[in-house]
Amino acid sequence: MPKKSKVITVGLIQAKAHKEPAKNLSLTLAKAEKAAKDGAQIICTQELFSTEYFCQSEDHSKFDLAEPIPGPTTKAFQNLAQRYKIVLIVSIFEKRGSGVYHNSAAIINTDGAILGIYRKMHIPDDPLYYEKFYFTPGDLGFRSWKTPFGKIGVLICWDQWYPEAARLTAMQGAEILFYPTAIGWHPSEKAKYGKSQHNSWETIQRSHAIANGCYVATVNRVGHEETTDNGDGIEFWGQSFISDTSGELLRKADLDETTLLCDLDLGKVDTARTHWPFLRDRRIDAYSDITKRLVDE
Amino acid sequence: MPKKSKVITVGLIQAKAHKEPAKNLSLTLAKAEKAAKDGAQIICTQELFSTEYFCQSEDHSKFDLAEPIPGPTTKAFQNLAQRYKIVLIVSIFEKRGSGVYHNSAAIINTDGAILGIYRKMHIPDDPLYYEKFYFTPGDLGFRSWKTPFGKIGVLICWDQWYPEAARLTAMQGAEILFYPTAIGWHPSEKAKYGKSQHNSWETIQRSHAIANGCYVATVNRVGHEETTDNGDGIEFWGQSFISDTSGELLRKADLDETTLLCDLDLGKVDTARTHWPFLRDRRIDAYSDITKRLVDE
């Protein structure tokens, strides 16, 4: 039991994307408003919630889906944040300038101001996940932000496979790591590899909670999307979850649309870090090779 | 399926410690010999296998249990390695010099030579695990060694909670990470926290396999040991295991004495690292703060 409890409520919006961005925006705003009315204080959207997952092909016309920060999407969420005095983490396909686009998240504070931007640092590139075509890797580094409801860090999807990203965010004091995500199965691979792939994904993120004594809140999309003829699409596996500081799941969604609400006692972060004193014993004198690609013979 | 299979067999000796070091040594040698006859090519002992877990109290007389490397224990295992043309990973309470002791592992090659030494880098200190009293933190860094059966890394117990340690070892090419371990429950805490503690321990190590696309082989002791009046001892939780590159358990022991044998296809390491190309996308330009204690505001 923590000596000093501080219970807050987070909300994760797991949804199916429609073809029309305006519809995704209005539905997500409505779900965020409902979550706020239900008590959520920090609400996080899924990755690129306003569109289908357009990275299934390399198509220049898709850059038209991007918008600046601030822009119409942040404006809409800023109004909501101010109205309900909540914190919002809003995934945005960011147009920073001609030819420079990012996979970003805007962190909006309770007063409606943009508290910060996180730009996805690790960009994947795999069949049907052609993100390196669209997104310049982030140049703002790993960040955490102080909000009235606790200190939060935001990382995006592919970042979740990197212990370095979680560590660097937690080292800035983050008590919760949020991961807006878009991951799913290639339908043709699902029977053979699907269970193992999903299990790896959940496990690596639970491990970040354990290693850093913090909460992890991951929100993933659902539904089958086929935005190209080049394959059989992606079946997004949903299963958004919230892990406690020991890696146990407090809430887990299935493969339906849902908004996960969960109470977190942030007092437990201090307790976890004291009783499992991993941060005390890090060998910072011996980690410098982490900045190498490999340690060659 | 890997393009190029290379199947090898590892053996992990999970045992109960007796009071007499000579008995532990002879029993472990016999078990290693049996494993070799059964086909094991790389065999790993549990942490500090030759003694009870003496760190339950701070007792200067316990330093007499230490020995140099090379020393009588390595000699015995070197003979065995040479006789069976096997690789042995042997945990040793190392006396390096007066007042300088390490929690080490000797890596012995198929020709009986000592291929290298790993000295535990992260030293815990918790009630009944007073290791900082006994062990100077390692000064040899994280290492991996090429053997006739593949490239291996060795880390010890508390190291297993540090993604940095696994990463730095894998970055040197390790295909298998071995973790000699001594971890268990405080009997008074077991009912309330035991399941969660064990689960955290298994999860964080499976995550190292996932993040680095390698195998993880962990060998832990079993049995209740009470070497001091200061508490009710430790119930070592055994459950040694081998994880594949996706974090799935290939073998898992229970709480009995056993020697786990497991075939590993090292060809899968290359396949895993290609199909889950995490190493490709590490943001080494943005990781330098890993060498800080915290990133202060």
Please write the tens of the pLDDT for every residue from A3-32: 799 999 999 999 999 999 999 999 999 999
Please say if B268 is a catalytic residue: no
Q: Which of A184-193, B4-13, B229-238 has the lowest mean pLDDT?
A: B229-238
pLDDT-derived band at A1 (thresholds 50, 70, 90) equals low
Cβ-based neighbours of B46, under 8 Å, separated by 6 or more: B12, B13, B14, B15, B91, B180, B181, B182, B219, B220, B221, B240
For residue B37, what are the CA distances in angstroms to B42, B83, B107, B160, B194?
12, 11, 20, 30, 36
Cβ-based neighbours of B112, under 8 Å, separated by 6 or more: B78, B79, B81, B82
- Mean pLDDT for B160-183 is 98
- Which residues in chain A touch residue B292, judged by CB atoms under 8 angstroms apart? 171, 284
- Which residues in chain A touch residue B128, judged by CB atoms under 8 angstroms apart? none
Shortest CA gap A268–chain B (Å) = 14
Supply the pLDDT for residue B129.
Answer: 95
Comparing CB atoms, the residue among A163, A210, A282 nearest residue B167 is A163
ipTM comes to 0.97
Q: Is the peptide bond before A70 cis (omega within 30 degrees of 0)?
A: yes
Q: Tell me which residue has tokens 């020995």.
A: B67
Supply the pLDDT for residue A296.
Answer: 84
Are A204 and B288 an interchain contact pair (Cβ–Cβ within 8 Å)? Answer: no
Cβ-based neighbours of A79, under 8 Å, separated by 6 or more: A112
Q: What percent of chain B has pLDDT over 90?
A: 96
Cα nearest neighbour of A204 on chain B: B207
CA A190, CA A202: separation in Å to the nearest integer? 16
Quick check: pTM over 0.90? yes
- Which residues in chain B touch residue A285, judged by CB atoms under 8 angstroms apart? 291
Comparing CB atoms, the residue among B196, B211, B289 nearest residue A161 is B211
Comparing CB atoms, the residue among B161, B168, B246 nearest residue A196 is B246
Please write the tens of the pLDDT for every residue from A213-255: 999 999 999 999 998 887 799 999 999 999 999 999 999 999 9
Please say if B55 is a catalytic residue: no
pLDDT-derived band at B297 (thresholds 50, 70, 90) equals low
Average pLDDT, chain B: 97
Are A210 and B200 an interchain contact pair (Cβ–Cβ within 8 Å)? Answer: yes
Are A167 and B168 an interchain contact pair (Cβ–Cβ within 8 Å)? Answer: no
- Which residues in chain B touch residue A207, judged by CB atoms under 8 angstroms apart? 163, 203-204, 206-207
Please write the tens of the pLDDT for every residue from A48-86: 999 999 999 999 999 999 999 999 999 999 999 999 999
Ranges of each domain in chain B: 7-291
Q: What percent of chain A has pLDDT over 70?
A: 99
Question: How many Å is the maximal CA-CA distance in chain A?
Answer: 58
Query: B7-291: CATH homologous superfamily?
Result: Carbon-nitrogen hydrolase (3.60.110.10)
- Mean pLDDT for B170-198 is 97
How many CB atoms are located within 10 Å of the residue A69 CB? Answer: 18
Nearest CA-CA partner of A117 in A131, A103, A136, A135: A103
CB-hemisphere CA count at 13 Å for A143?
20
Which residues of A are annotated as catalytic? 47, 120, 157
- Which residues in chain A touch residue B289, judged by CB atoms under 8 angstroms apart? 142, 168, 171
Are B282 and A123 an interchain contact pair (Cβ–Cβ within 8 Å)? Answer: no
